[in-house]
Structure 1
Amino acid sequence: MSGWNYHVTHFVTSAPDIRHLPADTGIEVAFAGRSNAGKSSALNTLTNQKSLARTSKTPGRTQLINLFQVAEGIRLVDLPGYGYAEVPEELKRKWQRALGEYLQMRDCLKGLVVLMDIRHPLKDLDQQMIQWAVESGIPVLVLLTKADKLASGARKSQLNMVREAALGFMGDVQVEMFSSLKKIGVDKLRLKLDRWFSEIPPSVETPAE
């Protein structure tokens, strides 16, 4: 299967929780990360669009699950940013519940991209997201964002440290560097998405002759 054309990705809908999402069919890959991890920038870089996912001056604005369609039945999902200090505790808990439900109950979810600032990786909520995904049998791609902010030696050692830590999750967790600014890791992200999106769900397979 050749790669998907992410440039034609377009916004479909926003939902406060999984009960308001469209039918649980097709294939979804979700993007999650702390509010300042550079999630919107990564989605914009991936799709080569300046404002597909709106980058906000105030992190934590995205309080909804946002769906984008790449092709019929193929969707990217932008999950609410988590862990931003300015948000009231009650709201944080509500988001966490919505995130947990989505990861554990959405059958068409085939992969999770967790974005973390390379300078501050593996905070509690990052680890919780990975744990949820692994427990639900969902493969994870960790992107260490803003890699351009570190010198290459420091970048390498952060990458190795997080790769080492990721083994502890005992799941399918791949760790790569990423920079929207310098386009580092964009090809690896596309390859991973292509692989996830080309796995045909059992219900759609053509019966053997």
Structure 2
Amino acid sequence: MEWSWFPVQLSIIVALTATMMTLIIGIITAYWIVTKSIKGKAIIETIFFLPLVLPPTVIGFLLIVVFGKNSPPGQWIEWLTGRSLLFTSTAAIIAATIVAFPLMYQSVKTGFLSVDQQIISAAKVDGASGLQLLTVIILPLSIRAIITGMILSFTRAFGEFGATLMFAGNIPGSTQTIPAAIYLALETGETQIAWYYALISIGFSFILLFSINRTKRDS
């Protein structure tokens, strides 16, 4: 096994894309949960948080079942794109998005709940629509919590291994992320290369978590 920047580049691309996807989905779902009266809200939120406690191999297995060649979604995607979703960089992004989503959702929801209800009530009296409430009031006042959610989601997606290995594989130059590269390096006895990737991962994680602490201290 030779040292390559590809796992680092792919891990960053996967983490950035997954973070953007979790941000959009997290804002929509958190706003829906916080502002609407929904039956079975506890069950829905339990489902949202399942990726935090499920073994990564279970998540990977479920993704294969849902998007595999024998499933309707998998067959439709293969018909549309001409190839299976399995063992692609897109599969790595999907796996990273799923495992990172609970962290984004919880951070965004916490931010939304921290907004003063008197401000929201006053805006409603002035005729603000739901979209205006979200974009003009709730999102700006929740920005610190949202940034925290983005950093946590990026860090989680950057380090995702188990579900990604099962769903996207460990193909050098194609789907190999940093965790997969470390695994392969250890399997082949390339401890020095494993250390290089490990130190890069530790450095990224330290900087991002340090940023969260600075944000909290400055608030």
Task: With the length of structure 2 as denominator, give the TM-score of the two structures.
Answer: 0.25
Task: With the length of structure 1 as denominator, give the TM-score of the two structures.
Answer: 0.26
| Larger RCO (alpha carbons 8 Å, 6+ apart) | 2
**Rg larger for:** 2
User: More strand per residue: 1 or 2?
Assistant: 1
User: More helix per residue: 1 or 2?
Assistant: 2
